[in-house]
Structure 1
Amino acid sequence: MPFVTTRDDTDIFYKDWGSGPPVVFIHGWPLNADAWEDQMKLVADNGYRAIAHDRRGHGRSDQTWGGYDFDTFADDLDDLITSLDLRDVTLVAHSMGGGELARYIGRHGTSRISKALMVGAIPPVMVKSESNPEGTPQKVFETLKDGILNERSQFWLDTAETFFGANRPGNRVTSGNKYAFWLMAMQESIQAGVACVDAFSQTDFTEDLKKFDVPTLLIHGDDDQVVPIGPASQKAARIIPDATLTVYEGGSHGLANVPGTKERFGRDLMAFLRG
């Protein structure tokens, strides 16, 4: 299996399919590169090079004890991109991965980047505060950490319901969607799981978003129960200089995997790559 060794000697697993202009996929929490396989095959079948890595502490990458902050995640991504000498890259990120993408641009710029796509992404900032009154209350994030620490296997099964919108009438979520989520979540270390909650809930990406200077597409479901659209993509679209927001009516947080919205997302992804 291919790995890149980062500047702090962490081994990061990645998949590398096809050939052509590179598209780098950045997964959400608590998943790994496998979450992007449908889209990776789609772009590789259409003349692009699809690359996706497991974030440290997730999947097949090293389970470090520390380094679960967005500066480190962004530097890991930079190590991947520079080690493979990727140029004219389109970055595609989901959820927490949107924070990784934003911090990457904030720290490393866009000299190797041509476009950015974020779906159900967390920026600019998740936690509720005086300056972000529409955000998510801190107690919600404490509940997430408690679930991981108390009985994470059942917690992940329960979380899959709202992640994909399986609790909504008429949903098309499959058992396979939920079991795949559970499997990937169980491959994340318990240390990474808890530490990442603190990282993605507290980090403010506003200044990173202001540094975007490439075409950016934001896709978000208006029924996202994990990252509500209002304080996330709707706000980010007003900060990023060249951003387009596409709203999926009834779309869940896991819209890229659920039958129906998955196909639409694939079409929008290809149109963005070709545009």
Structure 2
Amino acid sequence: MPYAKAKDGTMLYYKDWGRGEPVVLMHGWPLTGDTFDDLAIKLVEGGKRCIIPDRRGFGRSDQPWNGHDYDTYADDVAAILEDAKISEPIALVGFSMGGGEVARFLSKQGKGRVSAAVLASSVVPKVAQSDDYPDGVPQSTLDDITKQMKEDRAGFLQTFIKQFYGVGFLERPVSQGVLDSGFQQGMMSGARPFYAAAAAWAGTDFRPDLPAFEGVPTLILHGTSDKNVPIEGTGRKVAEALPHATFIEYDGSPHGIFETDKERFCKDVVGFLTQDSRGTTADRSASAIPLTN
């Protein structure tokens, strides 16, 4: 699979699968592009070309000290598109912190480069609580998470991955293999990128990027029991800010809906990106909430 060279020389690994209209799939923290293998297969079967990067510092990409911020991440996407010789508009799918890349790429590159956007369990518009954003996660909670990961990254990650997939004393929505895979992917990252990327997704305010979504077909997917990126301060807030979007709540689902709700997740995303009239013919169950002006 190919590598693209970023502006600062960082080598960025990406998969390039299929032929057709391009879809770029941006993974969450602290995983890799392998997050999207099942979805990408479905999209390729539906006539799409999938570009699936490993973010700088993660997976098979280089692990530089610098560049772990959303302006650089958006520039990295542009570098990958140039390497893949893609100049036409792309669909962007962002899971968790990858949603921030969707927002920042849109605001930096312009909506002329984006045909559609999907935000899944996304950190947009803001994670951290502040005086003007009371629905966010308290800074003390984020500071405690940072402390835990720096004291014992491997131990923290084992616990984090269980919460990521909603695993509890009685609940076990994914297999041990899925948990092991998540742990292995997370430990592939360097410690510096691991910490710096977490600070980026927890501390970046994407509210100024939201106007860039105007006129761009957008799908928002979020689990109502997401403890990693709670829906109240993210999915529901961005849906309010984007009244043209299609918003689908996954009742009772945790953060990692690409695994816990795999069949439905793939059907929703593929349906949205492959229909001529996006957002009107994608599958909508009773928990689908299309928002209108």
Shorter-chain TM-score tier: over 0.9
CA 1:160 to 1:189, structure 2 compared with 1: closer, same or farther past 3 Å? same
Q: How many residues align?
A: 273
* Runs of 5+ consecutive residues of structure 1 not aligned to the other structure: none
Offset at residue 47 of structure 1 (A): 1.6
Which residue of the other structure, out of 242, 245, 258, is the alignment partner of 1:243? 245
Equivalent residue of 2:112, what SS? Answer: coil
Task: Tell me if structure 2 keeps the 8 A contact 1:210–1:241.
Answer: no
C-alpha distance in structure 2 between counterparts of 1:160 and 1:143, whole Å:
17
Offset at residue 168 of structure 1 (A): 6.9
Offset at residue 209 of structure 1 (A): 1.1
Offset at residue 83 of structure 1 (A): 2.8
For residue 72 of structure 1, what is the aligned residue in structure 2?
Answer: 72
Residue 106 in structure 1 maps to residue 107 in structure 2: yes
CA 1:250 to 1:168, structure 2 compared with 1: closer, same or farther past 3 Å? farther
For residue 63 of structure 1, what is the aligned residue in structure 2?
Answer: 63
* Runs of 5+ consecutive residues of structure 2 not aligned to the other structure: 276-293
For residue 45 of structure 2, what is the aligned residue in structure 1?
Answer: 45
Residue 32 in structure 1 maps to residue 32 in structure 2: yes
Deviates more, 1:195-204 or 1:140-149: 140-149
Q: Give the counterpart letter for 1:39 in structure 2.
A: L
Q: Give the counterpart letter for 2:222 in structure 1.
A: H
For residue 128 of structure 1, what is the aligned residue in structure 2?
Answer: 129
C-alpha distance in structure 1 between counterparts of 2:78 and 2:13, whole Å:
14
Equivalent residue of 2:16, what SS? Answer: strand
C-alpha distance in structure 2 between counterparts of 1:76 and 1:138, whole Å:
29
TM-score normalised by structure 1 residue count? 0.96
Offset at residue 242 of structure 1 (A): 2.6
Q: CA RMSD in A?
A: 1.3
Task: Tell me if structure 2 keeps the 8 A contact 1:91–1:117.
Answer: yes
C-alpha distance in structure 1 between counterparts of 2:41 and 2:74, whole Å:
25
C-alpha distance in structure 2 between counterparts of 1:251 and 1:144, whole Å:
22
Equivalent residue of 2:147, what SS? Answer: helix
Task: Tell me if structure 2 keeps the 8 A contact 1:120–1:219.
Answer: yes
C-alpha distance in structure 2 between counterparts of 1:266 and 1:32, whole Å:
18
Report matched runs for 1:190-201 at 5 Å.
Answer: 190-201=191-202
C-alpha distance in structure 1 between counterparts of 2:170 and 2:240, whole Å:
32
CA 1:8 to 1:137, structure 2 compared with 1: closer, same or farther past 3 Å? same
Task: Tell me if structure 1 keeps the 8 A contact 2:223–2:252.
Answer: yes
TM-score normalised by structure 2 residue count? 0.90
Residue 141 in structure 1 maps to residue 142 in structure 2: yes
Q: Give the counterpart letter for 2:233 in structure 1.
A: P
C-alpha distance in structure 2 between counterparts of 1:11 and 1:237, whole Å:
35
C-alpha distance in structure 2 between counterparts of 1:11 and 1:170, whole Å:
40
Offset at residue 170 of structure 1 (A): 4.2
Task: Tell me if structure 2 keeps the 8 A contact 1:96–1:122.
Answer: yes
Offset at residue 241 of structure 1 (A): 5.2
Which residue of the other structure, out of 222, 226, 229, is the alignment partner of 1:227? 229
Residue 94 in structure 1 maps to residue 108 in structure 2: no
